[in-house]
Structure 1
């Protein structure tokens, strides 16, 4: 039996404890396989934009736009990339996008980067919430075009 060799590994992080464990395992796998590691964070779109928004009888000043959020997260991920490199990963790229995390991780990023393995943290939602809302992890498991490792 041949050992599976992965070339492009994706890990989706959201700051949760399980996603950080998934990151650790993805780093180990990238080192073992001498693979390129993609660290992705997908932010959900804001409901409002910079400026003034009318809500009910008042006006709300909104102070954070999507570009500011992207820039802030990119800076945070730069630190994560540096940590992965310090641990021995030679080729690391961060991806910060605004969109639907399920679709971006399960399809779009995987197709664009030719991902052959994805690491994702197990959901933190309870069983009842999963029944009504589903989970990103479940969606990725069912729709991914790459192998998926779920980290608990």
Structure 2
């Protein structure tokens, strides 16, 4: 019997990597007749060093996330996904994506774009996708290719 996913979560942040993950998520959701949960996590650590503009920056980030999720949701529905839900969360993206949302929403597949961090950056910051693959309790798909499984073209400098 084939594995059927029922609740797929894809983390989107507006990056090219997230766009690749989103396209794969649509295809997998349609093949599995699964619901799709689109998640954007606002990393609150980014606002800790800013004092007076703290709430204004957080509000702007939230507004941008709402607009982005609305656009992603509409695209997914236009491409045939029947059940689409969105969520904006605040805190550490690693923990929220790997543990909190999958537990709260019964996610059985997490889809993430591969990060562009180099080895030194991963050592100091750590990549979200790396953390999620090690700590999630459900299946995780790290996307490196487009919807047709082709590597994206890299711009040359």
Q: With the length of structure 1 as denominator, give the TM-score of the two structures.
A: 0.86
1:1-50 C-alpha deviation (Å, 9 max, x unpaired): x210000000011211111100000010000001010010101112267x
Alignment partner of 1:77 is 2:69: yes
1:5 is matched with which residue?
A: 4
Aligned-pair distance for 1:145?
1.0
Query: Pairwise mapping of residues 36-115 of structure 1 onto structure 2 (< 5 A)?
Result: 36-45=35-44, 46-47=47-48, 53=51, 64-115=56-107
Aligned-pair distance for 1:124?
0.7
Cα gap change, 1:62 to 1:106, in 2 (>3 Å)? closer
Aligned-pair distance for 1:65?
4.4
Question: For residues 80 and 12 of structure 1, what CA distance do their matches in structure 2 show?
Answer: 11
Question: For residues 121 and 72 of structure 1, what CA distance do their matches in structure 2 show?
Answer: 20
Question: For residues 10 and 62 of structure 1, what CA distance do their matches in structure 2 show?
Answer: 29
Cα gap change, 1:24 to 1:62, in 2 (>3 Å)? same
1:57 is matched with which residue?
A: none
RMSD value, Cα = 1.7
The alignment covers a number of residue pairs equal to 142
Cα gap change, 1:27 to 1:47, in 2 (>3 Å)? same
* Higher Rg of the two aligned structures: 1
Higher mean displacement: 63-72 or 90-99: 63-72
Which structure shows the higher strand fraction?
1
For structure 1, list consecutive stretches of 5 or more residues without a partner in the other structure: 54-59
Aligned-pair distance for 1:69?
2.6
For residue 136 of structure 1, the aligned residue among 119, 128, 137 is: 128
1:84-109 C-alpha deviation (Å, 9 max, x unpaired): 00000000011111110001100000
